[in-house]
C-alpha cells in the first residue's frame, strides 16, 4: 500500500495514524469474506478498533480524545476500507458525527461532554437514525413520520427508521422525529437500553452487507426531556457545508485501491500458456493499470486537497459545500470505474466468490446511494454557477 501514499503522508503523526490503520486493515481483510457472505456485523473488527482506541479519534483533546483533522480522518478511512469497506463505512459514521458535533457545537455542552467521556472511557458507538421508508434519504428534506410527544416532562417517541448502519452494535441512536405539539423536527439521543426500542433484521442487500443497516423500531419509547439534543431546520438543502461527510468518498476510494492492488498482483503472476510472460507485460493490460492509477490520482488528490483546505481555512468552510459534494461525486464514480477496470484485467476469475474483487464490485456501488446523490451534487454546483 505504501507506494500510493508517498505524497499523502506529510507528517510523522499522519504516518503513525496510517500505520495503525494499516495494521488493523490487514486483520480485517482476513475476515471480510465471512462477514460479507453471512451478512453479519463485524463485531471482532470493532473489538480491535476499541482496543486500538480508534472510536475516540475525533473526540476533542479536552475530553481525552485525539482530535484528528479531517485530512487524517480520510487517511484512516481510506486505509481501513482496503481491508474491509463495510467496517470503514460503519466506523466513519461514528467518527464523523463526533467530529461534526465538536465543530458545530449544536448539542448542549453537558450532553456532548458526557458522550465524549463515554466514548473515551468505554469506547461506545453512536450513529444517526434518520432515514424512513416514506421520506427516503434525509438529504431530500422529507419530514419524519416518526413522532415525539411531550408527556409529563418526558418525550414519548414512536416510529420506524431504515438504513441504520451499525444497528446491532450501537450504544446510542440519534433519532429524528416530528414534535407533535409544534410540527418542528428535533434530534433525540436514545440509548439502546430504552424500553420499546428494537432492531428488525431487514438488511439483505447486494453490497455493504456487513454494515447491518437494519430497521430501528420505536414503540412508545420514553426518554428524559434532555434527550432532545437539537432542533433541525428544514429543508436540508440549505444546510451548512459538512466536511465530515468526506469519510464516504474516502471509504469507496479505499475499496477501489484494494481492487487495484488485487488486479496488479494477478497481472504480475498470471501467465497463460499462450504467453511466454505474465499478462502484466501485455500492452492492453498495462493501459488498464495506468488508467486505474490515473483515475485514482485525480480523485485522491482532489479529495485530500479539499480536506487540507477545510483544515487550514475554517473561515472558508461555509463556501465549500459545492466542492465537498463534487469530491463525493468524482470519488464514488471513479471508484466504480477503477473496480470495473480491475475486473477486466483479471477476467472471469474475478466473478468467483473466493475472489475479493466480486465483493469490491458489489460494495463500491453502494457509494452511489450515499449522500449526496449525484443529482443533488449537479443541482447545487450548477446553482452556484448560475447565481
pLDDT in tens, 55-86: 999 999 999 999 999 999 999 999 999 999 99
**Phi and psi torsions of 177, nearest 5°:** -150, 150
Exposed/middle/buried for residue 191 (C-beta within 10 Å: 0-12, 13-18, 19+):
middle
Pick 137 or 175 by higher pLDDT.
175
pLDDT at residue 237, rounded to an integer: 44
**Closest Cα to residue 355, out of 262, 257, 279?**
262
Is 148 within 8 Å of 179 (Cβ atoms)?
yes
d(CA 372, CA 383): 15
**Beta strand 228-232 with 185-191: parallel, antiparallel or unpaired?**
antiparallel
Looking up cell 481501513, which residue turns up?
Answer: 80
Domain 243-386: CATH superfamily, name plus number: Butyryl-CoA Dehydrogenase, subunit A, domain 3 (1.20.140.10)
Long-range contacts from 38-41, C-beta under 8 angstroms, 24+ separation:
39/203, 39/204, 39/205, 39/209, 39/210, 39/212, 40/210, 40/212, 41/90, 41/166, 41/168, 41/169, 41/210, 41/211, 41/212
Is 26 within 8 Å of 32 (Cβ atoms)?
no
Which cell is 319 given? 463556501
The full set of domain ranges for the chain reads 12-124, 128-231, 243-386
Is 253 within 8 Å of 335 (Cβ atoms)?
yes
Q: Where are the alpha helices (DSSP H) in the chain?
A: 12-38, 43-51, 70-83, 85-104, 109-122, 247-269, 283-312, 321-346, 356-365, 374-385
Exposed/middle/buried for residue 182 (C-beta within 10 Å: 0-12, 13-18, 19+):
exposed
Multiple choice CATH, 128-231, 2.70.50.30, 2.40.110.10, 2.160.10.10, 2.60.120.10:
2.40.110.10
Q: Is the pTM of this model over 0.85?
A: yes
Q: Does domain 12-124 have CATH number 1.10.540.10?
A: yes
Q: What is the mean pLDDT of residues 198-211?
A: 98
Long-range contacts from 339-343, C-beta under 8 angstroms, 24+ separation:
339/255, 339/256, 339/259, 339/364, 341/263, 341/288, 341/291, 341/292, 341/295, 342/256, 342/259, 342/260, 342/262, 342/263, 342/292, 343/259, 343/263
135 pLDDT band (50/70/90 cuts)?
confident
d(CA 331, CA 256): 10
Q: What is the mean pLDDT of residues 285-297?
A: 98
pLDDT at residue 163, rounded to an integer: 97
User: Model confidence over 11-25: pLDDT tens digits?
Assistant: 999 999 999 999 999
Which cell is 303 given? 479529495
Q: What is the mean pLDDT of residues 83-103?
A: 98
3 pLDDT band (50/70/90 cuts)?
confident
What percent of the chain has a predicted confidence (pLDDT) above 70?
98
Looking up cell 440509548, which residue turns up?
Answer: 191
Amino acid at each position: 500500500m505504501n507506494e500510493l501514499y508517498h505524497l499523502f503522508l506529510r507528517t510523522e503523526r499522519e504516518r503513525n495514524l496510517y500505520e495503525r490503520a494499516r495494521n488493523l486493515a490487514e486483520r480485517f481483510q482476513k475476515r471480510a469474506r465471512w462477514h460479507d457472505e453471512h451478512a453479519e456485523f463485524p463485531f471482532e473488527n470493532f473489538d480491535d478498533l476499541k482496543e486500538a482506541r480508534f472510536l475516540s479519534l475525533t473526540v476533542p483533546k479536552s475530553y481525552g480524545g485525539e482530535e484528528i483533522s479531517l485530512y487524517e480522518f480520510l487517511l484512516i478511512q481510506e486505509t481501513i476500507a482496503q481491508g474491509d469497506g463495510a467496517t470503514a463505512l460503519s466506523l466513519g459514521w461514528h467518527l464523523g458525527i463526533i467530529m461534526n458535533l465538536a465543530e458545530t457545537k449544536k448539542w448542549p455542552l453537558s450532553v456532548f461532554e458526557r458522550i465524549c467521556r463515554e466514548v473515551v472511557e468505554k469506547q461506545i458507538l453512536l450513529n444517526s437514525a434518520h432515514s424512513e421508508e416514506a421520506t427516503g434519504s434525509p438529504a431530500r428534506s422529507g419530514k419524519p413520520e416518526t413522532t415525539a410527544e411531550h408527556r409529563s416532562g418526558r418525550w414519548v417517541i414512536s416510529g420506524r427508521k431504515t438504513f441504520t448502519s451499525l444497528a446491532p452494535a450501537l450504544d446510542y441512536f440519534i433519532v429524528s422525529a416530528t414534535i407533535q405539539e409544534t410540527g418542528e423536527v428535533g434530534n433525540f439521543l436514545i440509548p439502546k437500553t430504552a424500553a420499546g426500542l428494537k432492531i428488525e433484521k431487514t438488511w439483505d442487500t447486494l453490497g455493504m452487507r456487513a454494515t447491518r443497516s437494519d430497521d430501528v423500531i420505536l414503540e412508545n419509547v420514553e426518554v428524559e426531556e434532555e434527550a432532545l439534543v437539537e432542533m433541525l431546520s428544514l429543508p436540508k438543502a440549505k444546510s451548512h457545508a459538512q466536511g465530515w461527510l468526506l469519510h464516504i468518498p474516502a471509504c469507496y476510494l479505499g475499496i477501489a485501491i484494494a481492487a487495484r492492488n488485487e488486479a496488479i498482483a494477478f497481472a504480475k503472476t498470471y501467465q497463460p500458456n499462450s504467453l511466454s510472460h505474465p499478462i502484466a507485460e501485455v500492452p492492453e493490460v498495462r493501459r488498464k493499470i495506468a488508467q486505474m492509477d490515473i483515475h485514482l490520482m485525480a480523485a485522491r488528490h482532489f479529495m485530500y486537497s479539499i480536506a487540507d483546505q477545510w483544515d487550514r481555512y475554517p473561515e472558508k468552510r461555509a463556501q465549500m459545500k459545492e466542492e465537498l459534494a463534487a469530491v463525493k461525486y468524482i470519488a464514488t464514480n471513479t471508484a466504480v470505474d477503477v473496480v470495473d477496470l480491475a475486473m477486466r484485467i483479471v477476467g472471469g476469475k474475478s466473478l468467483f466468490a473466493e475472489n475479493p474483487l466480486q465483493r469490491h464490485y458489489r460494495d463500491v456501488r453502494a457509494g452511489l446511494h450515499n449522500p449526496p446523490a449525484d443529482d443533488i451534487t449537479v443541482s447545487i454546483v450548477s446553482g452556484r454557477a448560475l447565481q
